């Protein structure tokens, strides 16, 4: 009995020691949880957050995207964890080729009436020796930790969009397979967002730190227009929007490769961009219209019909959308309306 008590005291001492190490700014991220072949059951096992989604480990690099994917108006916070001493390349298309041991961490939440961010879920993309793995974690009500939900779940959510309209939706946390559906390139899981020219950093020091660790391509990297920047042309903005919201599936190596509709390629007046292209396997997703984009006629363009629908057999994107992105619709409507019929 006495021996047991002594052991407990020793454990407490060790724990106290650990806490003091953290307080001095050392990295609390558990590299083994990221790299080793296991499915950590709770988010706290990685050490990314100190007991709350708004207390990220200081070593994490926070970034944003100029053209984010629309996710039911959820607010997203994104972090990168790099393994110690990491060196990596930026591809000629601007994609960062992260080393094994990297974790990409993305949290989704909504603002409460009092303005605080209520985080619902955190998705992690872990780069392991045998490839990337995607895992979804759902925060508990107290937001002290999040638990793994490999099969996904649904959470009822009420929020206001930027125009002040209130929405009550069944928010879908994707299952592990659905993660791959979007994050698939040639059948392999891979990150989507971190494309260097599209990334923004909260701390300039993070940008500098990444630059030191990265090798950049010889070609200049092309930054797309910001989809919501009114000083850019409609075509540039529409292209950027379609890239951010559709190209992860609608590419020759993505989940919608069989559609013949590709938004990772330059958008123009050709069938692969939807221009006078007939539907292939749309079924009732066609909405009785003949073309994905009918120039001059947004009201008859299947692209907008599917973006406007919330019906699972019709809606695009197929997953992760239970509200209409009004601002995106407005942009694409205007773009198609101004095309020469």
Partner 1 sequence: MSRMNFGWLAAASAIVIAQPLAAKTVEVSAGEGAQERLQEALILAEAGDEVVLGAGRFVLTDGLSLDIDGVTLRGAGMDETVLDFTTQQGSGEGLLVTSDNVTLRDFALENPKGDGVKSKGADNIVYHRIRVTWTGGPDANNGAYGIYPVESTGVLVSGSKVSGASDAGIYVGQSKDITVRNSIVEANVAGIEIENSRNALVENNIATRNTGGLLVFDLPNLPVMGGGNVVLRRNLVVDNDTANFAPPGNIVAGVRRGTGILVMANDGVLIEGNILENNPTAHIMVVAYSLKFDDATYNPYARNVVVGDNMFGRGGDDPQLDGKEMLLAAFGGALPPVMWDGIVESDNGLRVADGVAGWTLNLKTPGQDMATAQPGPLDVPTPDGAFALESVGAPAELESRIK
What is residue 160's three-state secondary structure?
A: strand
Instruction: State which of residues 285, 293, 328, 335 lies at the interface with partner 1 (CB under 8 A).
Output: 285
Cβ atoms of residues 134 and 179 within 8 Å: yes
126 belongs to the binding site for partner 1 (CB under 8 A): no
Sole binder of partner 1 in the list 104, 199, 255, 307 (CB under 8 A): 255
Alpha-carbon distance of 187 to 217, in angstroms, equals 25
Q: How is 95-140 classified by DSSP, letter by letter?
A: BEEPPTT-EEEEEEEEE-TTS-EEEEEEEEEEEETTEEEEEEEEE-
CA 146-206-144 angle, to 5 degrees, is 15
Report if residue 276 touches partner 1, rule: CB under 8 A: yes
Query: Do residues 317 and 298 make contact, with C-beta atoms less than 8 angstroms apart?
Result: no
Largest Cα–Cα separation, the chain: 87
The dihedral sign for the CA sequence 235, 239, 240, 246: positive
Closest by alpha carbon to 301, among 313, 312, 316, 311? 316
From residue 290 to residue 309, what is the string marking binding to partner 1 with x (rule CB under 8 A)? Answer: xx----------x-------
Annotate each residue in 141-180 with x if it binds partner 1 (CB under 8 A) or - if it does not, as one string: ------xx-xxxxx---------------x-x--xxxx-x
Tell me which of 8, 9, 14, 280 binds partner 1, using CB under 8 A. Answer: 280
Asked if 35 is part of the footprint of partner 1 (rule: CB under 8 A), the reply reads no
Alpha-carbon gap, residue 288 to 275, rounded angstroms = 17
Q: Considering the complex, what minimum distance in angstroms separates the CB of residue 14 from partner 1?
A: 26
Q: Give the C-alpha separation, 89 to 35, whole Å.
A: 20
Computed from CA positions of residues 126, 127, 133, 134, in that sequence, does the dihedral angle turn out positive or negative? positive
Nearest-approach distance from CB 37 to partner 1, in angstroms: 8
Q: Out of 319, 324, 337, 339, name the contact with partner 1 by CB under 8 A.
A: 319
Task: Give the nearer residue to partner 1 in terms of CB position, either 170 or 231.
Answer: 170
Identify the residue among 281, 330, 334, 338 touching partner 1 (CB under 8 A): 281
Nearer to partner 1, 40 or 56 (CB): 40
What x/- string results for residues 54 through 93 when contact with partner 1 is judged by CB under 8 A? Answer: ----------------------------------------
CA distance 261 to 275: 10
39 binds partner 1 (CB under 8 A): yes
123, 237, 248, 277: which one binds partner 1 (CB under 8 A): 277
The footprint of partner 1 on this chain (CB under 8 A) covers a number of residues equal to 53
- How far the first Cα of the chain sits from its last, in Å, is 86
Pattern of binders to partner 1 over 202-231, x per CB under 8 A?
Answer: ------------------------------
* Stretch near partner 1 under the rule CB under 8 A, chosen from 55-63, 68-76, 125-133, 269-277: 269-277
Cis? peptide before 170, omega within 30° of 0: no
Q: Which is nearer to partner 1, 50 or 276 (CB)?
A: 276
313 binds partner 1 (CB under 8 A): yes
d(CA 316, CA 308): 8
Residues in CB range of 35: below 8 A, 6 or more apart: 83, 100, 101, 126, 128, 129
The contact set with partner 1 (CB under 8 A) reads: 37-39, 41, 147-148, 150-154, 170, 172, 175-178, 180-181, 184, 187, 252, 255, 257-258, 260, 270-272, 276-291, 302, 311-314, 318-319, 322
């Amino acid at each position: 009995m006495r021996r047991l008590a002594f052991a407990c005291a020793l454990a407490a001492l060790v724990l106290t020691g650990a806490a003091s190490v953290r307080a001095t700014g050392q990295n609390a991220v558990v590299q083994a949880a990221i790299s080793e072949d296991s499915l950590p059951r709770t988010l706290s096992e990685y050490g990314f957050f100190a007991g709350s989604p708004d207390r990220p480990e200081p070593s994490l690099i926070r970034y944003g995207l100029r053209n984010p994917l629309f996710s039911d108006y959820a607010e997203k916070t994104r972090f990168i964890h790099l393994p110690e001493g990491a060196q990596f390349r930026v591809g000629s298309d601007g994609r960062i080729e992260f080393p094994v041991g990297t974790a990409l961490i993305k949290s989704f939440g909504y603002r409460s009436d009092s303005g605080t961010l209520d985080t619902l879920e955190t998705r992690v993309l872990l780069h392991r020796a045998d490839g990337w793995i995607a895992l979804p974690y759902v925060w508990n009500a107290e937001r002290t930790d999040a638990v793994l939900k490999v099969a996904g779940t649904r959470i009822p959510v009420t929020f206001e969009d930027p125009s002040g309209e209130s929405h009550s939706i069944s928010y879908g946390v994707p299952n592990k397979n659905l993660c791959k559906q979007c994050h698939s390139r040639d059948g392999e899981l891979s990150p989507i967002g971190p494309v260097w020219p599209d990334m923004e950093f909260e701390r300039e020091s993070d940008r500098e730190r990444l630059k030191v660790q990265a090798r950049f391509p010889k070609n200049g990297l092309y930054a797309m227009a910001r989809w919501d920047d009114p000083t850019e042309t409609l075509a540039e903005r529409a292209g950027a929007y379609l890239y951010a919201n559709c190209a992860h599936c609608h590419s020759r190596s993505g989940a919608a490769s069989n559609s013949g509709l590709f938004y990772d390629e330059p958008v123009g007046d050709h069938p692969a961009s939807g221009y006078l292209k007939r539907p292939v396997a749309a079924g009732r997703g066609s909405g009785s219209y003949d073309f994905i984009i009918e120039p001059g006629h947004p009201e008859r363009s299947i692209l907008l019909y599917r973006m406007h629908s919330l019906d699972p057999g019709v809606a695009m994107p197929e997953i992760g959308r239970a509200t209409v992105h009004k601002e995106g619709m407005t942009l694409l409507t205007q773009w198609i309306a101004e095309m020469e019929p």
